[in-house]
Amino acid sequence: EIGKIYLGKVKKIVDFGAFVEIFSGTDGLVHISQVCDRRIKNVSDEIQEGDEIKVKVIDVDQQGRVKLSRKEALRDAVPAID
């Protein structure tokens, strides 16, 4: 469901991001640009295989591939300061 936040498990780190299982049999890609707010060279500088991380579903394409964002999940979890 787009916009929903899940606690997922990092299954595989690749050059362009990380594959995260959000529930049994369903995983999605956190693109390197969606790992954190700042630009990073290596995904493994921020997350490791086996880590449990919060991710937000930002899109599901026509092939059913799930696109995830860690930075949006972290942003949504931080209360706004007035």
Mean per-residue pLDDT pooled into runs of 10, the chain (82 residues): 94 98 95 95 96 97 96 78 57
Residue 82 lies in a domain: no
Q: How far is CA 57 from the centre of its chain?
A: 8
pLDDT at 19: 98
Give the number of domains in the chain.
1
pLDDT at 30: 98
pLDDT at 21: 98
Q: What is the CATH number of the domain that holds 43?
A: 2.40.50.140
Are 31 and 67 contacting, i.e. CB atoms less than 8 angstroms apart?
yes
Q: How far is CA 42 from the centre of its chain?
A: 15
- Residue count of the chain, please give it: 82
pLDDT at 16: 97
Q: Strand 66-69 relative to strand 26-31: parallel, antiparallel, unpaired?
A: parallel
pLDDT at 35: 97
pLDDT at 76: 76
What does the DSSP 8-state code read for residue 32?
G
Overall pTM > 0.85: yes
Are 23 and 6 contacting, i.e. CB atoms less than 8 angstroms apart?
yes
pLDDT at 75: 86
